[in-house]
């Protein structure tokens, strides 16, 4: 039995890859990163034209009505070119949350706008995973107060989904009274996250008061899967760049790819990363087809690929020698994206702890 992408999914993958690779040579990646907006309108419109922004949204709301594995394929292609668009939060996490817990009115209002790319969404759920002092959002009397840190893709967002504890998820327009948005600076300039301060903001709660626990959980899991796919694409490019450089760089009148040590470094990168391709794809398949199996597979996929990609980006840089640390080669754009993906929505230590709890090996969170 062969487990792989269908013909349609391969066509989708190739279409997105051609579009992003043609649109984003290294010079353009450098230009967009220096702009530090985390968003490029022509690239976003290109994804809209391919129906990528509505990949998970049903046809009745103007979407493509595809499955999670299709979204994984798109996200992997975007990771290959560190594409500066808010795809993870807007096209994956937000639709999952609204479809899981939203009222009919909320779905009818927001899903068509998300599918058309008219509305970009930032998602703030990190406080459900771990919370910093003086952060977190509370809801009382239909009003929201507090701070939401690391709102994913919040820089260019028109609307936010913000968790107020583990049971409430609020829809907040960017221009709502009492909302203050502060852009956060991370090492990854291809995406812009933000901090949101809420002062007596009117709450439009997904699913009503204390009715969004499942929506928050599925939103987080979908985001983790998307980040794993993004890391897969980015790490694969790092390997490709290392191999191509090794075939061109000459030392002692020989290309360095002819040296056994360099061959071993490149082979080990592939052997570290490749097993997680099938796990990421399977997790995307299981999300819809075997939902009971999906959470553990997502946790293992992201925690595992985060560790494998850490080895890949270090080794790929070493293959490039001193050139690997320069802006000329541009490796740092993929290096930084992978490192930020590693900590978003929980680093490997937290995810492995959750996987142990889900499988009955631990009774409570006990990370030391």
Domain residue extents for the chain? 7-115, 121-205, 213-358
Q: In what order do the strands lie in the sheet with 143-151?
A: 136-140, 143-151, 194-202, 179-183
Q: What is the mean pLDDT of residues 89-98?
A: 98
Q: Domain 121-205: give its CATH code.
A: 2.40.110.10
Distance separating alpha carbons of residues 67 and 71, to the nearest angstrom: 7
171 half-sphere exposure, CB direction, 13 A CA radius: 23
Share of the chain above pLDDT 70, in %: 98
pLDDT of 366 higher than 60: no
| Alpha carbon distance 79, 338 (integer Å) | 9
**CA 170 – CA 215 distance, rounded (Å):** 11
Dist CA 261 CA 286 (whole Å): 39
Q: What is the pLDDT of residues 295-340, one digit of tens each?
A: 999 999 999 999 999 999 999 999 999 888 888 889 999 999 999 9
The pLDDT score that the predictor gives to residue 4 is 82
Distance (Å) of CA 341 to CA 87, 115, 168, 188, 214: 14, 24, 25, 9, 23
Label residue 192 exposed, middle or buried (CB < 10 Å: 0-12, 13-18, 19+).
buried
Q: How far apart are the C-alpha atoms of 363 and 311, rounded to whole Å?
A: 31
What is the distance of C-alpha 308 from the center of its chain? 17
CA dist., res. 204 & res. 142, Å (int) = 8
In tens, the pLDDT along 2-23 reads 678 889 999 999 999 999 999 9
| Cβ neighbours around 302 below 10 Å, total | 33
Instruction: Compute the distance between CA of residue 305 and CA of residue 226 in angstroms, rounded to an integer.
Output: 12
pLDDT band for position 35 (50/70/90)?
Answer: confident
The backbone torsions φ and ψ at residue 316, rounded to the nearest 5 degrees and listed phi first, read -60, -40
Give the separation between CA 73 and CA 247, rounded to whole angstroms: 29
In the prediction, which pLDDT does 354 show?
93
Cα R_g (the chain), whole angstroms: 20
Q: Sorting pLDDT into bands at 50, 70 and 90, what band is 367?
A: very low
Section 15-36 average pLDDT: 92
Secondary structure of residue 226 in the 3-state scheme: helix
pLDDT of 134: 66
Please check the confidence at residue 259 and state whether its pLDDT lies above 80.
yes
What is the per-residue pLDDT for 2? 62
Residue 194, Cβ density class (10 Å: 0-12 exposed, 13-18 middle, ≥19 buried): buried
Class of domain 7-115: mainly alpha
Is pLDDT of 264 > 80? yes
Q: What is the pLDDT of residues 96-107, one digit of tens each?
A: 999 999 999 999
pLDDT band, very low/low/confident/very high, at 364 (cuts 50, 70, 90): low
The answer to which of 192-206, 230-244, 301-315, 320-334 has the lowest mean pLDDT is: 320-334
Fold of 213-358: Butyryl-CoA Dehydrogenase, subunit A; domain 3 (1.20.140)
Average pLDDT of the chain to the nearest whole number: 92
Query: Which residue in 20, 26, 1, 126 sits closest to 334, CA to CA?
Result: 26
CA–CA dist 28, 12 (Å, integer): 23
Question: Cα separation of 125 and 170, whole Å?
Answer: 11
pLDDT(220) > 60: yes
The end-to-end CA distance of the chain, in Å, is 42
Distance from C-alpha of 242 to C-alpha of 330, rounded to nearest angstrom: 12
Q: How far apart are the C-alpha atoms of 199 and 177, rounded to whole Å?
A: 8
pLDDT of residue 365: 53
Mean pLDDT score, 250-274: 93
Kind and range of the H or E element at 255? Answer: strand 254-255
pTM score, two decimals?
0.94
DSSP state at residue 59: G
């Amino acid at each position: 039995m062969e487990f792989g992408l269908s013909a349609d999914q391969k066509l989708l993958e190739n279409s997105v890859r051609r579009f992003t690779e043609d649109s984003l040579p290294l010079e353009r990646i450098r230009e967009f990163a220096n702009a530090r907006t985390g968003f490029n309108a022509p690239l976003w419109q290109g994804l809209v034209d391919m129906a990528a922004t509505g990949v998970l949204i049903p046809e009745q709301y103007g979407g493509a009505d595809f499955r999670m594995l299709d979204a994984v394929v798109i996200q992997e292609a975007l990771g290959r070119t560190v594409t500066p668009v808010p795809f993870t939060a807007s096209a994956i996490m937000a639709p999952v949350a609204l479809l899981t817990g939203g009222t009919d009115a909320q779905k009818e209002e927001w899903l068509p706008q998300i599918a058309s790319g008219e509305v970009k969404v930032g998602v703030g759920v990190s406080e459900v995973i771990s919370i910093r002092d003086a952060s977190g959002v509370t809801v009382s009397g239909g009003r929201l107060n507090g701070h939401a840190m690391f709102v994913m893709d919040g820089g260019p967002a028109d609307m936010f989904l913000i968790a107020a504890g583990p049971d409430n998820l609020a829809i907040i327009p960017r221009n709502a009274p009492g909302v203050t948005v502060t852009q956060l600076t991370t090492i990854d300039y291809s995406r812009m996250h933000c901090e949101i301060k809420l002062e007596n903001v009117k709450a439009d709660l997904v699913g009503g008061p204390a009715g969004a626990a499942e929506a928050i959980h599925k939103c987080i899991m979908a985001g983790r899967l998307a980040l794993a796919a993004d890391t897969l694409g980015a790490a694969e490019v790092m390997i490709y760049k290392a191999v191509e450089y090794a075939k061109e760089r000459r030392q002692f009148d020989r290309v360095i790819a002819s040296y056994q040590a360099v061959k071993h470094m490149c082979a080990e990168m592939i052997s570290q990363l490749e097993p997680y391709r099938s796990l990421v794809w399977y997790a995307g398949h299981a999300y819809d087809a075997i939902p009971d199996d999906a959470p553990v597979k997502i946790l293992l996929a992201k925690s595992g690929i985060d560790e494998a990609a850490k080895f890949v980006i270090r080794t790929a840089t070493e293959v490039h020698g001193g050139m690997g640390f320069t802006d000329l080669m541009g490796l740092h754009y993929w290096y930084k994206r992978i490192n930020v993906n590693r900590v978003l929505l929980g680093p490997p230590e937290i995810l492995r702890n959750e996987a142990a709890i889900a499988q009955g090996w631990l009774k409570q969170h006990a990370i030391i």
